[in-house]
Amino acid sequence: MDFSLAIAGLAWLPWVCIIAGLVFIIIEMMHPGIGAPGIIGAILLVAGVILTAKTPLQALIMIAILLAILGVAFMIVLQSATRGHLARHLVLNASLDDELGFTGSDDLKYFIGSEGKTLTVLRPSGTADFSGVKLDVVSEGEFIPKGSTVIITKVEGNRIVVAQKSSVS
């Protein structure tokens, strides 16, 4: 310990810096993304090492010990994040189900049977207009020229299948 710190009655300051730095970094591990506790903790650890170590070898040994302590703390936090108390706060367990009224895409089944005109050539995919609503559509493999009348035969998620009107009738 530096003799000038001991005379001034501040011999405890480097240890407070080290302990507070460890606490701040562990807080950052438990609440990732905030940033401020991690930065403050790193500054306090560096200050504690500088105030405590008399030689570069002592500084390296202290850094190795602090990294080992932080490694153990990180493993404990990681264990808690996957299975323990922290998992309840970090992991979303709820899901958006159809029974609850949530869907990943719009239900376009009400378009089945609608008649429209192709805006592009369908070979087999393209665009068609259904009463002012432009939709990306696919034919069942056949070539349908631009301006043809088509009817929606089925909807599978976001895939809208059409057939040329003359081949449906």
Q: What number is the average pLDDT over the span 108-126?
A: 89
Question: So what's the pLDDT on residue 156?
Answer: 86
Using the predicted structure, report yes or no on whether residue 167 has a pLDDT greater than 90: no
User: What is the location of CATH 2.40.50.140 in the chain?
Assistant: 109-168
Q: Do the beta carbons of residue 161 and residue 144 sit within 8 Å?
A: no
pLDDT tens-digit series, residues 5-40: 555 567 788 889 999 999 998 888 887 777 888 899
Q: With CA atoms as reference, report the closest residue to 136 among 149, 122, 147, 148.
A: 122
Mean of pLDDT values over 130-137: 90
Which residue from 74, 60, 81, 78 is spatially nearest to 22, judged by alpha carbons? 74
Q: How confident is the model at residue 128 (pLDDT cuts 50, 70, 90)?
A: very high
10-13 long-range contacts (CB < 8 A, ≥24 apart) are 13/51
The CATH architecture annotation of domain 109-168 reads Beta Barrel (2.40)
The pLDDT value recorded for residue 82 is 74
> CA torsion 37→64→70→47, rounded to 10°?
-20
**Bridge partners, residue 150, by sequence:** 116, 164
pLDDT in tens, 60-81: 999 999 999 999 998 988 887 7
Is the pTM higher than 0.85? The answer reads no
Strand partners, 154: 161
